[in-house]
Amino acid sequence: MPQQNKGMKNQYDVVVIGAGIGGLTCGAFLAKEGMSVLIAEQQSKPGGYCTSFLRNGFTFNVGFDFFVGAERGGMFDKLLDELGLKDEMQFVDLAPPSRIAGSDYNLPLTPLEDLAAELKKMFPGDVQNIDTFFQDCKAVTSEILALAEPSPDLLGIGGKIGVMIKFLFKSPNVKKYGGQSYREALKKYFKEPKLRAILASLDHYDPGWAATEPMKVVGFPAFQYPRGGSQALADVFSNGVKKHGGELALKSTITKIMVENGKAVGVQLGDGSRVNARYVVSNVDARQTFLQLIGEKYLTSKFVKELNNERLSAPVLLVSLGVDMDLKAMGFDGTSIVYNRSDNVDDVWGGDPEKCSLWIMMHSLRDPSHAPAGKATVQLMTQFPYNYMDYWKREMNGTRGKEYSEIKDALASKLIVAAEEVVPQLSKHIVCKDIATPLTFERYTSNSEGACYGWFPGPKGKLRSQKTPIKNLYQAGHWTFPGGSIFAVALSGRNAARLVLKDTR
């Protein structure tokens, strides 16, 4: 059905496309500064990848497990405080947020001292290397945090030179490990293949990524979970937009960014109506932003070629289960478990359902409101190819038929059987089940191929500027600086707001 432009004005200072955390953060900051702001979101709720969904009384997160920076004085904590939202969000401290389990080990991710001690017992020949690795992880985290603010896009020539000096002379670990893959770094550190496989599964990061990505997570001092789940976090930011006078239009698809004389001047909605704006901020997929909403005629051939050739981060397969089990009585405490079924790095991240690493999340133990009384949530997640089985045997017109359903059901069954090595008799207690494939994530988020982290953050990769070739058009979210994760996209949203405000002054 055609959309109706109900309640929208014809003119705003800023239109933000997409109500992911980056877009919501951007909109909230701009509204707080007194600008008229419209955030248009195609789905029926805000959040993007930071959302939750309900099935038969169970609340499931969309692939979210934990995040960082919400501890007192942390970057995320400060950001909430700036928006006047700090008292509206509560967090559960996680210690540890996850454990790494295999055939003969069960290791805590944090504190690092405990993880290091356990690994030293298992691999006495790598004792010194283990200490060095964790020291370097802490150093990488510290250096990245120092480089993350402010955004280079907000700096003048002098400021950019200062950042470059900081990178060249005060960030030796970021410089060293940003140029090699995590797989390469682990090989240089450790002799034991099994130890490399364990450390390759510290978080759901591909070992082909730049080593700084997983290393920076290991070095964070604290991890948190939002009470109420990921949707609660998105709703707080959404309320922040409205609190400061901004508008959020759900079920509103943008079909075109209007460009006149090389400058963004507004957007066109699905019903053909136009909303004018002084500025546009896109929080959606970079390819969609430029190749569909803008159009190649406004872009150089070099820019278009880079967009088409840039590698995407991998999507995931997510199986969400509501179960009639007392997980707490079984000894589980809400700590997620990374279950390695192989001691080979290539198997762990190879996309083989018989061998791949499996992330087992039990969020109802962190927040009992996620499940009905006496029941629990269990989610199984693994990185999985977008082109699996000839693109999941979808029909020529893109629809999903019988073969698609059969493939995803068979995969879910294999993962459930594997998870029973950790959660005994899981398959006998399932009362509801939901299966999300990479195609599901692509459909609901409009991220190309369901990419859950934006561009593939490979060695020596570059983060795209939040400025664009189109004047008065900026980017926010995980497709631009400073990269993926809720923590990073929130900073990206604030940066985008500052870019707009800087231009108005």
User: What average pLDDT does the segment 40-44 reach?
Assistant: 96
Strands (E), 90-129: 91-94, 98-102, 105-108
Report the candidate in 268, 294, 332, 286 with the shortest Cα–Cα distance to residue 446. 286
Mean pLDDT value of segment 450-479: 91
- Which phi-psi region, left, alpha or beta, contains residue 451 (left: φ > 0; alpha: ψ -120 to 50)? beta
**What pLDDT band is residue 170 in, cutting at 50, 70 and 90?**
confident
What are 155's two structure tokens?
């700096």
Residue with tokens 């490399």: 196
In this predicted structure, which of 49-53, 87-91, 172-176, 419-423 has the lowest mean pLDDT?
172-176
Return d(Cα 15, Cα 268) in angstroms, integer: 11
Phi, psi of 264 (to 5 degrees): -70, 130
**The length of the chain, given as a count of residues:** 505
According to the 3-state scheme, what is the secondary structure of 16-32? EECCEHHHHHHHHHHHH
Q: Are strands 274-282 and 11-17 parallel, antiparallel or unpaired?
A: parallel
User: How many other β-carbons are positioned within 10 Å of the β-carbon of residue 380?
Assistant: 23
Contact (CB, 8 A) for 43 and 251: yes
Q: 321: number of CA atoms within 13 Å, CB side?
A: 26
pLDDT of amino acid 215? 86
Q: How many CB atoms lie within 10 A of CB 296?
A: 13
Q: Does the pLDDT at position 70 exceed 80?
A: yes
The answer to whether 195 touches 154, Cβ cutoff 8 Å, is no
User: Among 13-17, 207-211, 379-383, 406-410, which is the least confidently predicted range?
Assistant: 207-211
**Nearest C-alpha neighbor of 353 from the set 285, 418, 284:** 418
- Percent of the chain with pLDDT strictly greater than 70: 97
Q: What is the pLDDT of residue 4?
A: 44
User: Across the chain, what does the average pLDDT equal?
Assistant: 90
Work out the pLDDT band at 2, boundaries 50, 70, 90: very low
Report the C-alpha gap between 478 and 463 in whole angstroms: 10
What pLDDT shows up at residue 294? Answer: 97
- Give the C-alpha separation, 120 to 468, whole Å: 48
- Asked if residue 197 has pLDDT above 60, the reply is yes
On the question of pLDDT at 296 being above 90, the answer is yes
Residue 289 identity (one-letter amino acid)? T
Write the burial class of residue 43 (CB in 10 Å: 0-12 exposed, 13-18 middle, 19+ buried): middle
Residue 203 has pLDDT above 70, yes or no: no
Read off the tokens for 448: 């190309």
281 pLDDT more than 90: yes
Band of pLDDT at residue 149, cut at 50, 70 and 90: low
Residue 3 binned pLDDT confidence (cut-offs 50, 70, 90): very low
Residue 126 CA to residue 191 CA, distance in Å, equals 7
Question: Which residues touch 292 (CB under 8 Å, ≥6 apart)?
Answer: none
Confidence of residue 67 (pLDDT cuts 50, 70, 90): confident
pLDDT at 64: 85
Is residue 317 predicted with pLDDT exceeding 50?
yes
Question: Which tens digits make up the pLDDT trace of 374-420?
Answer: 999 999 999 888 988 888 887 666 678 889 999 999 999 999 999 99
Q: What is the pTM of this model?
A: 0.93
**How far apart are alpha carbons 78 and 237 in whole angstroms?**
14
Closest CA to 338 of 355, 366, 360: 360
Q: What is the mean pLDDT of residues 446-452?
A: 92
Out of 51-60, 210-219, 469-478, which region has the weakest mean confidence (pLDDT)?
210-219
Q: Are 11 and 276 in contact (CB under 8 A)?
A: yes
Percent of the chain with pLDDT over 90: 67
Calculate mean pLDDT across residues 253-282: 97
How far apart CA 451 and CA 315 sit, in angstroms, is 5
Distance CA 369, CA 57 (A): 10
Report residue 150's pLDDT band, with 50, 70 and 90 as the boundaries.
low
pLDDT score, position 6: 62
